[in-house]
Structure formats: structure tokens, C-alpha cells
Structure 1
Amino acid sequence: MPERTQQHWADSLFDSVYALYETAREYQTAHRAALVAVETVDVDRRQLHEGHVALRGLHGRIDADYYRTSRVSPHMKAVFDLYDLYSRTERELHRRYEEAALLYASGAAWAIAVVQGDETPAQVDFNTAEDGTPVLHRLSITGLDRYAGAGELAAAYDQVRNRMDAAEYAGDLADRGELSDHQAGELDHAIGVAMGLADMAFAYGLLAQRAVSFVLLEPRRARAAELAYARAVAQQTAEEPSA
């Protein structure tokens, strides 16, 4: 059985960034599906059947047990229950999508920085918080003056930073308790801006991933040259007449 060739660090590092992309995309897809699910049970878009059923049974009370008959609309209850369930799921998936998108973007930014520093990591490394969750790396990317996409990358970072600042400001306002009408308006606006953070972080991650490929060009070329030289030496050795 032929020996398995060890993966070069540049390829392994890119695969690590790509795994972060796939993770963020999974949550993006799941979140979009949850948004559709919420829309399907939006009471403003649904025609609820007016039929009712009677529910008869023993209902507990502090002072006594008694029989009671309730008249309810089963279809309305189902729609409202589903709306509540889907809405909670959508919020949770949005949180996870945002988290995964930011990790993807920061992981790509970290990979660029370490390669620029002549390091050769085989994968993206994250520090972890006390609960074991990964801690974001710095999101900004510098030193890409020769890269054609540097301007687009910088503009995307500004958009991410703007949304992160909005999220921080919204959290600060929410913690103040009672707000003036002006502050309440600012809170609504900040929340609206911050809601776009997940998609913007994912878009920034895609651009950063392309930049990872750019900074890995030279290491990959050097590796290709090493392999070509090794093959040439091996061929020459094989062709030399034995003593």
C-alpha cells in the first residue's frame, strides 16, 4: 500500500479556513430555513379556520378540583404555537450563524497575519474562553498593498465594524433601562443595523478567504519547486548506471 503523502502546511491551513466557511454556511442555510418557517405561520398572512372544539375535563385549582368546559380554536392554537416555536428557533440560529460567521472571518484574518509573519501553522488556532468557546481574533487585515482585492476587503471590514459598533451601542442603551423617545429611536436604529452583522461578517470572510489564497501563493510555489527538484533528483538517480 503506497505511503500517504503528508499534507503541506499551506494546504492544511487553507483547509482549516475552508472548514470555518463550511461551518458558517451550514448555519446560514439553517437560519434562512428558519426565517421561511416563521413566514409560513405569520398570522397576518394566514387564513385561520374558524372551527372550534370543546375541551371538557378536570382542572386543578388551589381550593378544589372542578370540571370545566373550554371552547377553543385548534387551528389558531397550532399556528400561534408554531410561530412561537419557529421564532425561538430562528433567534437561536441567527445567534449561532453570527458567531460562526465572525469566527470564519477572524480565522481567515489570523491566517493572513501569521503567514505574513513567516509562520507556518497547519491550522487556524483559537484561544478559548472559560466555557470552552473560541475567542475571536482581530478582524482587521493589513499588509496587502500588492493584493488587487485589498480595497474591497477594507470596505467590507468597515461594514463589519460598523455593525459590531451598532450592536455594542444597542446593548449599552438596553442596559440603561428607561429611555427617552430619542434614545428609544436610536436603539431601534442600532438594532436594525446590528441585525446585518451575520451576513456582513460572512461576506467579509469570503473576501478574506480569497486573500488567504493570495498570501499562500509564494509558499505553495516554493513547495511545488521543492517537489519538482526532488522528482528530478529521484529520476536522475534511477537513470544512473549501477556500479
Structure 2
Amino acid sequence: MPEKTQHWTDSLFDSVYALYETAREYQTAHRSAQLTSTQVDFDRRRSHEGRIALEGHSARAGADRPLLREPHPDALFALIRLYQEAESEMHRRYEEAALLYASGAVWAVRAIQLGHTPPLVAFQTDQYDNPVQHRLSLTGLTGLTNYAGAPALGRAYEQLARRLASADHAVHLSEQGNLADHEAGELYDAHDDAMGIADAAFAYGLLAQRSLNWALLEPRRARETELALARAAAQNDQPTQ
């Protein structure tokens, strides 16, 4: 039996929702990595002072004596490094997914307002075949004038734009040599602000997704009217007994 083809309004929303689920998965993974990392923080744990002796280790000065090690602190240091690497990787993936989600939702709204009927969110790809985010700007979304959620959407975009600007500023400062004290402070503040890009993009994406639901109201009503007329025509075409 052939699969039922979705109407473009449904498949487009599902496409954006899949981007939401992707970002949410990475958000959860990042939160978990953060929590796991804190569990081996030396400020929160007391390492055991017990030591072990390693005999027959590689030749060096004093190799005739056993090498004494503290296995528990060694393990904590190793785990801290591994968990910090995992947290950093999860944060990177979460940020990428959140930006794709937000930009995909905005792209879908813009496409509808331009009179297009895309069945899916379409992305260009980079040299590694990874999707490249669309623009995040609200410029051109004039059709949201009567949308009650437009002010909140605008504020969310401003928050995201500010953090993205902080990231650019941090990169600019980091490329400079011999920073003055006040510039070093700016670099720290800009980097700290940029760390919130992922959460800001996710919040913006949620509001953009809501605006997509609003933008789809008229196309969905038109679809319902079309189906109702088709059903009525089919009933009229039935032969009378």
C-alpha cells in the first residue's frame, strides 16, 4: 500500500520540529556532561591519599627505586580532562544544532510569507556536506505585524544577536597580541557572554517555531476548505438510487 503523502504544511512543520528535537537532544547531552564533570571536581571531592609503587618502570634517574603514585588523584585528573572534553564537544554540537533549529524555523516563516510552499526546510551544505545555517535576522518578516508573539520573538533575536556579536569580539581580541588589562577583561566578558549562544538560539528557535504555527494558519485553513469542497463534490457525483 503506498504511503500517504503529507500536505506541505504538515511536512514543513515536521521538518522544523525535527530540528527542535535534534537541538533538544544535544541540550540534554550537554547538561548531562556538565553534571558529570562537576562530580569529579576537586573542590567537591576529597581524593584518597593512598599510594602505590610501580616497579620496573622505564629507565630514568633513580629508576632502581619504585615509582610512587597516587592512583585516586590520577584518576580524578584523567576524568576531569575527559569530561571537560566531552562537555566542550557537547556544547559545540548543541550550539550548532540550536542555530540550525532557529534559522530553519525563521527560513520556513519567511518562505511562507514570500508565497512559497516548501515541503521541507532546505539547507545549503559546506565542503563536508554539513548543513549551513540560514540567516537568523527577522528582516523581511513584515507579515508578523499582527502576530501577538512578535515582540517576544524580536527580543529573543536581540539577545541572540548580542551573544553572537560577543563571540565575534572575543575572536577579534584573541587574535591580538599583548592585550592590555582592560582588553583582557573584555575578552573574558565577551567569551563568557558567547557561551550562552546555544541557549539563546534554542529559546529563539522555540519562539520562531510558534510563529511558524501562526504563519501556517491560513494555508491550513485553505487546505481544509479544499478538502471539504472535494468531499462535497464527491458526494454530489454519487449516483442517486
TM-score (ref. length: structure 2) = 0.95
Q: Where do residues 11-160 of structure 1 align in structure 2 (5 Å cutoff)?
A: 11-60=10-59, 67-141=64-138, 142-143=141-142, 144-160=144-160
Q: Distance in 2 between matches of 1:156 and 1:68?
A: 63
Q: List runs of 5+ in structure 1 lacking aligned partners.
A: none
Give the secondary-structure state (helix, strand or coil) at the position aligned to 1:108.
Answer: helix
Q: Distance in 1 between matches of 2:118 and 2:161?
A: 27
**Percent of counterpart pairs with the same letter?**
56
Deviation at 1:236, TM superposition (A): 2.3
Could you give the per-residue CA deviations for residues 159-207 of structure 1, whole angstroms, max 9, x where no partner exists?
0000000000000100112211010000001011111110010000000
User: Quick check: 2:57–2:67 contact (8 Å CA) kept in 1?
Assistant: no
Q: Distance in 1 between matches of 2:174 and 2:57?
A: 44
Give the secondary-structure state (helix, strand or coil) at the position aligned to 2:9.
Answer: helix
Q: Name the structure 2 match of 1:188.
A: 188
Q: Distance in 1 between matches of 2:177 and 2:8?
A: 51
Give the secondary-structure state (helix, strand or coil) at the position aligned to 1:34.
Answer: helix
Give the secondary-structure state (helix, strand or coil) at the position aligned to 1:15.
Answer: helix
Q: List runs of 5+ in structure 2 lacking aligned partners.
A: none
Q: Name the structure 1 match of 2:208.
A: 208
Q: Distance in 2 between matches of 1:95 and 1:124?
A: 22
- Which amino acid counterpart does residue 116 of structure 1 have in structure 2? Q
Q: Name the structure 1 match of 2:219.
A: 219
What is the root-mean-square deviation of aligned Cα atoms in Å? 1.6
- Which amino acid counterpart does residue 54 of structure 1 have in structure 2? A
Could you give the per-residue CA deviations for residues 10-29 of structure 1, whole angstroms, max 9, x where no partner exists?
11000000000000000000
Segments of 4+ in structure 1 off by > 4 A?
none
Give the secondary-structure state (helix, strand or coil) at the position aligned to 2:228.
Answer: helix
Could you give the per-residue CA deviations for residues 10-69 of structure 1, whole angstroms, max 9, x where no partner exists?
1100000000000000000000000001100000110111111111124156xx9x5551
User: Quick check: 1:59–1:68 contact (8 Å CA) kept in 2?
Assistant: no
Moved more, 168-177 or 3-12: 3-12
- Which amino acid counterpart does residue 15 of structure 1 have in structure 2? D
TM-score (ref. length: structure 1) = 0.94
User: Quick check: 2:157–2:204 contact (8 Å CA) kept in 1?
Assistant: yes
User: Quick check: 1:170–1:190 contact (8 Å CA) kept in 2?
Assistant: yes
Q: Distance in 1 between matches of 2:57 and 2:70?
A: 20
Q: Distance in 1 between matches of 2:157 and 2:234?
A: 48
Moved more, 39-48 or 68-77: 68-77
User: Quick check: 1:54–1:71 contact (8 Å CA) kept in 2?
Assistant: yes
Moved more, 73-82 or 25-34: 73-82
